[in-house]
Structure 1
Amino acid sequence: MNGETSYFLPHDGLQDLIDALGHAGFVCIGPKARDGAIVYEQLDRASELPWGMRDYQSPGQYRLEVTDEKKAFAFSNGAQAIKPVLFRPRETVWKVVRNEEGKLEFKPHQPKEAPLAILGARACDLAAMAVQDKVFLHGKNIDPRYQARRENLFVVAVNCSYSSQNCFCVSAGTGPNVKSAGVCGAAGARQYDILMTEIDGGFAVECGSARGREIMVEMSLEEARSAQCSQAVQNVEHAAAMQVKRIPLDNGYGLRDLLFSNLDHPRWDEVADRCLSCGNCTQVCPTCFCHSESDRQNLDGSCSEHTREWDSCFTAGHSYLNGKIIRDDTRKRYRQWLTHKVGSWFDQFDVSGCVGCGRCISWCPVGIDLTQELAAISGESNEREKT
């Protein structure tokens, strides 16, 4: 817990939370079990949560099972994070329309969207959101679509009480507990509004913002007992103790320097023999922000839309420059991805692009493990010492 006054929300009070968010004008997005995975979709009823579901992950593998532990957040994560909510996979950026005089007018596209509340954001995903805030909200070119969604986003965070085999957020310094409310991004963007830790029978709950407190006041929660607060701390510590992977050199500047001094390491050839250049790792990564842009015209010439959609550094077209593909083989593409993710990201944003969620490991069709590749180049072990 983060030192705030803790309250107790029973499991059967989750519907009250969803209803309170709705009354405050938010559309609630939360985890559901669908097609064999945890996905985030519109959530209207607490009964839609993945009660008792647990995910088992290893390199190239992800499966869900029902356990006897009837908890709403007994899983670690699914393929999605907060990124698709704020940085849409595909959207219109601006339009060109022909007016009555036949002249072209350029109009920025700012869609009218209902404010969203995400229920169940994890520590690694909040850390990733802070990284994306740096990408889209810092500097001179602020993205207005991301900014509007970010400012209107209500975050109900959940501390992890379970880690999969592929989680390494402890090593990355991002979890499994949410560090603090604080601010991230531009203009004092909130990291979370409410923080919950699941315990027997419900949740120990803390406020992270004024509007989070308003929601909790509406629900008239009682203060959590000391035993409940202690159990919350123990559950998070258990999740940390479960983790078996680590990222070498503590996911810092030393790792960046190591990679750039080993650009011709033979390991790049070895991983290229296995990598399919499918881009799965970049699609599930909560911090990747590469995208392509294209135009779609009406056949009658009355309108044209300029759109952007997620891209990947594993595609050939991503490195197309002045009539030539710069990274023309898988070795160069994988090396670009990894050296950027945990290397030159520091130069751009003063932080690593890896938050230790392990999604790239689970959803890689051939089970390539980022921590193993870094261990092979660094000479360090990717196995975490037991505490």
Structure 2
Amino acid sequence: MASATATRDPEDTFCVLDRTGIDALVRVLRARGRTVVGPTARDGAIVLAELESADELPYGWGVELEGGHYRLVRRTDGAAFAHSAGPQSWKNFLLPQRVRQWTADRGPDGGLTVRAERHDPASYAFLGVRPCDLRAIAVQDRVLTGGRHKDDAYRARRTGAFLIAVECTEPGATCFCVSMGTGPSAGPGYDIAMTEVVDDAGHRFLARAGTAEGAEVLDGLPRRAADPATRTTAAEAVEAAAGRMGRTMPPTDLRALLAGTMDAERWNDVAARCLTCGNCTMACPTCFCTTTEDVTDLTGDHAERWSRWDSCYDLDFSQLHGGPVRESGRSRYRQWLTHKLGTWYDQFGSSGCVGCGRCIVWCPVGIDITEEAHALHQEALARGTAPREEPS
């Protein structure tokens, strides 16, 4: 669902941008009427926000990550994209936390006039989309624009969004995109993909177009032909990143593993630690659950219906007439993990996890999805019920 459907051969579109080229990229996109959103250092984190210029990119900032731990750290090389996923994802813009669906007003005759909310197409340009997040956008596209239950508000924001992916050359301690097949190189779906290179030859970005519009934008920037040394250095940096993932998933069929663990003892262990706060679902770039809430003014003459994010950790999430289906923290964590890694395949044909590690970092007690998957795998091995291991 890229902004232009015509895909070009990346080999024909490689070029090199320097910081002047990145500055021009932001200016050109804004001149085209796009809202440019990208990473910036703010409030002690790398957050996603509207950028007025490339000077707002987090040049010289990196991050220190672990379970339940996040800290900005200064870098000495001035890199702009040498940091891992922050607390937000592009979901915050494509699927905002609250969206009004309709309003109703009572007229003088006592009748009600209901007006559906108009969802005008947005014109976003996302700068700095990690490969894992590029896959996450594709996952949400499948969920929210496919099947019978489409989200028109999401489609209005997503259609025409211009995606500039930045390949990962420095994974964080909680990253495991290689295990999920989502990085560190950029897969399909981008308009422009870049790899940042900082070495003795200078600070530069190897760029390639993935669509006709991406090529058109690159053609309007100050750039130079891609030299062999830059192409080699960029490729080696991405390949090296693949070997430095901070986390892994067990080498097995996760879908089959999770299907056979409904009564595993490990769920009791994680239930003793889980606060059922829902932080993991809020930070996850693919979690999509919403609920509706109705509000009225004090007169009762005006009412609105809003859609807002919800979480399967909420006790009321599975509320039926007799009470919640999943009362215990054990059952709610099990629901989240088995859906994310297992039954998501049954619904949408892929995993719901892209290996970004946000759920690990932003869990206040440091529960680690990869640690839990490994523990479930070891328990299944001990029981003799583990599925066949996947080839490495």
Counterparts of 1:349 and 1:375, CA distance in 2: 24
Match of 1:108 among 116, 119, 127: 116
What is the DSSP-based 3-state SS (H/G/I as helix, E as strand, rest coil) of the residue aligned with 2:133?
A: helix
| 241-250 or 42-51, which deviates more | 241-250
Measured after TM superposition, the shift of residue 28 of structure 1 is 0.7
Tell me the equivalent position of 2:279. 280
Give the Å deviation of 1:220. Answer: 4.4
Distance 1:99 1:219 in 2: 55
2-structure distance, mates of 1:2, 1:379: 42
- Please tell me the residue identity of whatever aligns with 1:306: R
Q: Partner letter of residue 300 of structure 1?
A: T
**Aligned counterpart for 2:155 among listed residues 144, 147, 155:** 147
In structure 2, the gaps of 5 or more residues are 1-8, 382-391
The one-letter amino acid paired with 2:304 is E
2:270 equivalent to 1:271: yes
Gaps of 5+ in 1: 181-190, 382-386
In the TM superposition, 1:69-88 aligns within 5 A as: 69-88=77-96
Output the CA distance in 1 between the equivalents of 2:76 and 2:257.
46
Partner of 1:37: 45
Q: Does residue 238 of structure 1 match 2:271?
A: no
CA distance in 2 between partners of 1:239 and 1:340 (Å): 28
Residue of structure 1 equivalent to 2:331 = 332
1:110–1:144 CA contact under 8 A, matched in 2: no
| CA–CA distance in structure 2, aligned partners of residues 323 and 310 of structure 1 | 24
SS at match of 2:78: coil
Deviation of 1:4 (Å): 4.3
Pick aligned residue for 1:175 from 167, 175, 183: 183
Distance 2:333 2:266 in 1: 11
Residues 10 and 210 of structure 2 are in contact (CA less than 8 Å); yes or no, is this contact kept in structure 1?
Answer: no
Counterpart among 94, 102, 105 of residue 102 in structure 2 = 94
Instruction: Give distance in 2, aligned partners of 1:4 and 1:136.
Output: 33
Residue in structure 2 matched with residue 195 of structure 1 by the alignment: 193
Name which of structure 1's ranges 328-337 and 371-380 shifts more when overlaid on structure 2. 371-380
Letter in 2 for 1:194: I
Higher mean C-alpha deviation, range 354-363 or range 204-213? 204-213
Distance 2:25 2:235 in 1: 22
What's the counterpart of residue 220 of structure 2?
218
Contact 1:136 1:142 in 2 (8 A): yes
Query: Match for 1:132: what amino acid?
Result: Q
Q: Does 1:47 align with 2:55?
A: yes
Structure 1 residue aligned with 2:141: 133
Q: Secondary structure at the match of 1:356?
A: coil
Residue 342 of structure 1: CA displacement? 0.4
Give the Cα–Cα distance (whole angstroms) in 2 for the partners of residues 58 and 369 of structure 1. 9
**Superposed displacement of residue 101, structure 1:** 4.3
In structure 2, distance between residues paired with 1:124 and 1:329: 31
> Partner of 1:7 in structure 2?
15
Check whether the contact 2:47–2:86 (CA below 8 A) recurs between aligned residues: yes
Cα offset for 1:155?
0.9
Distance 2:372 2:149 in 1: 35
Moved more, 212-221 or 339-348: 212-221
* Deviation for aligned residue 1:302: 2.7
- Give me the whole-angstrom Cα distance separating, in 1, the residues matched to 2:358 and 2:36: 24
Identity rate, percent? 44
* CA deviation vs aligned residue, 1:209-247 (integer Å, no higher than 9, x gap): 121122112214222111111111011112112114211
